[in-house]
Amino acid sequence: MASLAQQESASLSQNVKLGLKFRYQEGKVQINHNWFLGYTKDDEGNLVILEQEAKVVRRIYREYLEGASL
């Protein structure tokens, strides 16, 4: 019985991975944009940069690359 459940789990995992790969190939991104600083989604589901938040993200990366630490 456990073997059957394990096989079903592997099959489900493979199907999910294939579905995500297909969506990425179609240019459709699936992220929780509510917690993704600097982006939101438009009415068609495309990612849109929020410039005010993007400034913060750019600053974080710039300071990191310059060697800043907490």
Residue 60 pLDDT level (bands cut at 50, 70, 90): very high
pLDDT tens digits for 36-55?
Answer: 889 888 898 788 899 999 99
pLDDT of residue 67: 94
Strands annotated E in the chain: 39-41, 47-49
DSSP summary character for residue 36? S
Domain that holds residue 18: 1-28
**Cα(23)–Cα(17) distance, integer angstroms:** 10
Question: Looking at the structure, do residues 36 and 51 belong to the same domain, yes or no?
Answer: yes
57: left (phi over 0), alpha (psi -120 to 50) or beta: alpha
Look up the pTM and report it.
0.52
Question: Looking at the structure, do residues 24 and 58 belong to the same domain, yes or no?
Answer: no
Indicate if the alpha-carbon torsion angle 65, 33, 52, 69 is positive or negative: negative
pLDDT at 58 over 70: yes
pLDDT tens digits for 2-41?
Answer: 788 899 999 999 999 998 888 888 877 777 767 788 988 8
